[in-house]
Amino acid sequence: MREPVKIPKELIEKLKPFGPRFIKVSKPILGDKKSGKGAIEKDWPNHPYEADDPELVKWLEGGGNYGFILGRGLYALDLDDPELQTIFESEVDTLIIQSGSEIGRHYPIRSDSTDNAVILDEPDENKKRKNLGNLQVRNKYVVGPGSNHYTGGTYKILRNCPIAWVDKEKLFEIFGEGLVWTGQARSSRLSQKETSNLGFEIPIAQIIDMSKLRQISDQEWQGSHPIHGSDSGTNFCVNKVKNCWHCFRCNSGGGPLSWLAVKNKLIRCDQAQKAILRGKLFQDTLDIAEKLGFKKQEMSKEEKQKLQKTCGENLENFIFEQISDEAFLIYNKTSGETQEASRVDNFIPWPKMDKLIKPVTKIAPFNYNNLWFAVKQYLKDHLEIIDVGYTIMTAWIFVTWVVDLFNTVPYLFFFGPHNSGKTWALKILSAVVFRPFRTGHTSMSSIFRVCAAWHPTLILDETEDYMKHNRSAIINILNSGYTRGFPAVRVEEREEGFAIRTFDCFGFKALAGTEEFVPTLKSRCITFNMSKNTGDYPDEIDYSRGQSLREQLLMLRFQAMANKIKFEKPPSIFKSRLRELLTPLLMVAPESEREEIIRYGEELTKITQEEERSSDDAIIFRVINKIIEENPQITKISIREIAGELNMNLPLGETYSHVKVGRTCARLGFQTTRIGSGRGIRWTKMVLERLKLRFGSVKSVAISF
Ligand SMILES: [Zn+2]
């Protein structure tokens, strides 16, 4: 049995300035190639130990190895090639750790590099380049000296001296073209992105003086940076085939457009990074390119007509969403990869979309449950409603992002007097829902057009105003909008006469108003009765927090549409309308939240039944009262007479049966009695007065629409 591994004091001292650095590495087993090297804890980059941490000490005493992590200014160069080792050691005085294999050497250094790099051999006859070593920076660790190797050897400190500073240019001086930064590959990707949507090509060799550079492979030229120069004379590289450039000093690069921007001093070399050319900067660079004679060929009329404006589509293999005036974010449903582009198939971004809808600009990873509760907390931090309301609203926000999954959608309706927080509630929703479209002063015909073109989450405040001035139009949108495939039909007046147009207004809608809706619409809404906020809430909505939730929700949308997240229909608990309202919400709610939604549904069933009953009660009482007022001398009234009066103006199919009238009268407190061959009621002044008190405040029985 070997002695337990001890971390050398000299190493502990050298690493002290970098903070806790040590991690557990697996126990070596003699002859087992895979043993003795791997990190034991999954989350090792985030949980390094101090050298004397009892847990780490215990691990070492049990025969385990250890490692130290890189990053934050600490890098390590790994070289296996003896010749290169000699070259490097003659140039740089730094700590040397010999691998347990006794071949490889690790050189911890401090550097200004930000990327990992590889050291490659000259290309062989097949143009393959052998890997001679690595420069490791991010998410890497080194097995520490004192650790044991599966061959029986031990990792050793070969030269004990301080960790040396070696900057990028020095590294390049030592290894020359053998050194390939991982960032270089990124420059080539950036180049593709830059030019893929321009509609014209700018060969990079036409805008860089290649005669000043030296050819180092069949694709690459290298030399001194044409703008900021170079100490080594080799910090700039151009790849003609990949049509990209890279600067080793700044670890920057890209395609011809970003080079034009650097060359013309629109940006500094080190600013040539991802997504730098946007908006005006992009336009200015394009102007320079056009002055140089690179031009887009005019699109033919047919080509132009084929282009369709959209703010996002869900296609078979891709789903994309507009993220700015000029760009989409495209998600590949198979690979899960995303990229930006200004055109997808025949689709181009909607020009001033961001004037009406604040787009999400990127996606962010998420954990479903965490995201759910983060959204819920966001609501709680901004708004006071009944407890279950937070769950319902959270679910509703989630379903807006996966609207494609449903054929009918519930609306939200915030109902209450002025200053009861209705508008506030809508504003909060607009900070987190999918494609929020708050109408404000938008004209009715624009609302139709935007709904049809974008399928936004329509957010409509002061519905009573619309009911007054645009009643039929708004009812048209709302009535056709909750079921997929029932477009609104509209007659439009044009110069050449009237035209009939259809608008597909399907989509989620959140409404607020001081007056109730017609019953058909009311039954499509989940209604929140609003009263004044009493809690201590912020004056302003935290839009940036909302935006970061939307970034995660957009990722959720992408994954759900790619079937990477599956939502299942819950067993049907509720009947007809209520089932339509609540099924989507139950589908997206985490297991632990469903119970609350179900309880809410049960409560709603009860309330609806009670409401229906009490409105029947009121109607029937009114008829009885009318009969009594007209004939104060009678003491008995037949059910037949009440029903006759009740049903006089009601259409077939909606009339009250005698049984129902009889039952209602009994519930109202009238004594039932026989009148001739039929049934009737006997009324007393006391019952009548009591009922007047109960229903007296209601002026008219029919709802006011
Ligand atoms: Zn540079």
Q: What is the CATH number of the domain that holds 402?
A: 3.40.50
CB 344 within 8 A of CB 318: yes
Residue 509 lies in a domain: yes
Q: What is the 136 CA–ligand 1 centroid distance (Å)?
A: 21
Instruction: Report the candidate in 313, 317, 590, 346 with the shortest Cα–Cα distance to residue 453.
Output: 313
Spell out the alpha helix ranges (H) of 167-298: 168-175, 182-196, 256-263, 279-291
Residues 240-260 pLDDT 10s: 888 899 887 777 899 999 999
Q: Are residues 417 and 518 in the same domain?
A: yes
**Non-local CB neighbours of 614 within 8 Å, separated by 6+ positions:** none
Q: What is the 269 CA–ligand 1 centroid distance (Å)?
A: 4
Q: What is the 77 CA–ligand 1 centroid distance (Å)?
A: 23
Which among 291, 319, 338 is the end of a domain?
291
User: Residue 608 has what pLDDT?
Assistant: 73
Residue 170 lies in a domain: no
User: Residue 697 has what pLDDT?
Assistant: 43
**Non-local CB neighbours of 309 within 8 Å, separated by 6+ positions:** 347, 348, 349, 350, 351, 453
Q: What is the 579 CA–ligand 1 centroid distance (Å)?
A: 62
Q: CA-CA distances (angstroms) from residue 587 to 567, 575, 581, 647?
A: 6, 16, 11, 42
Q: Are residues 307 and 285 in the same domain?
A: no
- Give, for 143, the enclosing helix (H) or strand (E): strand 141-143
Q: What is the 260 CA–ligand 1 centroid distance (Å)?
A: 14
User: Residue 155 has what pLDDT?
Assistant: 95
Residues 621-679 pLDDT 10s: 989 988 998 888 988 999 999 999 888 877 777 788 899 899 999 988 899 888 888 89
Determine how β-strand 457-460 pairs with β-strand 509-513.
parallel
Which among 333, 356, 379 is the end of a domain?
356
Task: Collect contacts of 194-199 with beta carbons under 8 A, ≥24 apart.
Answer: 194/254, 194/255, 194/256, 194/257, 194/258, 194/277, 195/243, 195/255, 195/256, 195/257, 196/341, 197/341, 197/342, 197/343, 198/257, 198/286, 198/296, 199/296, 199/297, 199/299
Q: What is the 251 CA–ligand 1 centroid distance (Å)?
A: 7
Q: What is the 227 CA–ligand 1 centroid distance (Å)?
A: 8
Instruction: Report the candidate in 507, 522, 509 with the shortest Cα–Cα distance to residue 408.
Output: 507
User: Residue 701 has what pLDDT?
Assistant: 35
Q: Are residues 316 and 227 in the same domain?
A: no
Q: How confident is the model at residue 140 (pLDDT cuts 50, 70, 90)?
A: confident
User: Residue 535 has what pLDDT?
Assistant: 60
Q: What is the 111 CA–ligand 1 centroid distance (Å)?
A: 16
Question: Which of the two residues, 570 and 228, has the higher pLDDT score?
Answer: 228
Residue 172 lies in a domain: no
Q: What is the 209 CA–ligand 1 centroid distance (Å)?
A: 16
Res 695 pLDDT > 90? no
Q: What is the 116 CA–ligand 1 centroid distance (Å)?
A: 18
Spell out the alpha helix ranges (H) of 117-207: 168-175, 182-196
154 three-class SS? strand
Q: What is the 14 CA–ligand 1 centroid distance (Å)?
A: 32
Q: How confident is the model at residue 536 (pLDDT cuts 50, 70, 90)?
A: low
Residue 611: CB atoms within 10 A of its CB come to 10
User: Span 462-486, mean pLDDT?
Assistant: 85
Q: How confident is the model at residue 191 (pLDDT cuts 50, 70, 90)?
A: confident
CB 277 within 8 A of CB 261: yes
**Non-local CB neighbours of 433 within 8 Å, separated by 6+ positions:** 397, 400, 401, 457, 459, 508, 510
Judge residue 271's burial from the number of C-beta atoms within 10 Å of its C-beta, 0-12 exposed, 13-18 middle, 19 or more buried.
Answer: middle
Could you give the CA distance from residue 439 to residue 505 in angstroms, rounded to a whole number? 14
Could you give the CA distance from residue 283 to residue 109 in angstroms, rounded to a whole number? 42
CB 417 within 8 A of CB 514: yes
Res 407 pLDDT > 50? yes
Res 537 pLDDT > 50? yes
Q: Are residues 495 and 449 in the same domain?
A: yes
Residue 338 lies in a domain: yes
Could you give the CA distance from residue 583 to residue 460 in angstroms, rounded to a whole number? 23
Question: Which of the two residues, 89 and 471, has the higher pLDDT score?
Answer: 89
Amino acid identity of residue 393, one-letter, is M
Q: What is the CATH number of the domain that holds 654?
A: 1.10.10.10
Res 197 pLDDT > 70? no
Q: Are residues 585 and 510 in the same domain?
A: yes
Q: What is the 323 CA–ligand 1 centroid distance (Å)?
A: 30
Q: Are residues 107 and 23 in the same domain?
A: yes
User: Residue 296 has what pLDDT?
Assistant: 67
Q: What is the pTM of this model?
A: 0.53
Q: Are residues 515 and 482 in the same domain?
A: yes
Question: Which of the two residues, 446 and 129, has the higher pLDDT score?
Answer: 446
Q: What is the 250 CA–ligand 1 centroid distance (Å)?
A: 4
Judge residue 120's burial from the number of C-beta atoms within 10 Å of its C-beta, 0-12 exposed, 13-18 middle, 19 or more buried.
Answer: middle
Could you give the CA distance from residue 242 to residue 220 in angstroms, rounded to a whole number? 9
Q: Are residues 490 and 386 in the same domain?
A: yes
582 three-class SS? helix
User: Residue 698 has what pLDDT?
Assistant: 41
Q: Are residues 585 and 474 in the same domain?
A: yes
675 three-class SS? strand
Q: What is the 248 CA–ligand 1 centroid distance (Å)?
A: 7
Q: What is the 186 CA–ligand 1 centroid distance (Å)?
A: 15
Residue 546 lies in a domain: no
Q: What is the 230 CA–ligand 1 centroid distance (Å)?
A: 9
Q: What is the 241 CA–ligand 1 centroid distance (Å)?
A: 21
Number of domains in the chain: 5
Q: Are residues 286 and 423 in the same domain?
A: no
Question: Which of the two residues, 137 and 96, has the higher pLDDT score?
Answer: 96
Residue 702 lies in a domain: no
Q: What is the CATH number of the domain that holds 281?
A: 3.90.580
The mean pLDDT of the chain is 86
221 three-class SS? strand
Q: Are residues 275 and 334 in the same domain?
A: no
Could you give the CA distance from residue 322 to residue 192 in angstroms, rounded to a whole number? 20
Residue 461 lies in a domain: yes
Percent of the chain scored above 70 by pLDDT? 93
User: Can you give the residue range of the structural domain that contains 617?
Assistant: 610-695
Residues 322-355 pLDDT 10s: 998 888 999 999 888 888 888 888 888 888 777 7
Percent of the chain scored above 90 by pLDDT? 35
Q: What is the 247 CA–ligand 1 centroid distance (Å)?
A: 5
Judge residue 609's burial from the number of C-beta atoms within 10 Å of its C-beta, 0-12 exposed, 13-18 middle, 19 or more buried.
Answer: exposed
Res 261 pLDDT > 80? yes
Q: Are residues 36 and 134 in the same domain?
A: yes
Res 119 pLDDT > 80? yes
Q: What is the 363 CA–ligand 1 centroid distance (Å)?
A: 30
Q: What is the 270 CA–ligand 1 centroid distance (Å)?
A: 5
Res 704 pLDDT > 60? no
User: Span 501-526, mean pLDDT?
Assistant: 86
Residue 362 lies in a domain: no
Question: Which of the two residues, 522 and 77, has the higher pLDDT score?
Answer: 77
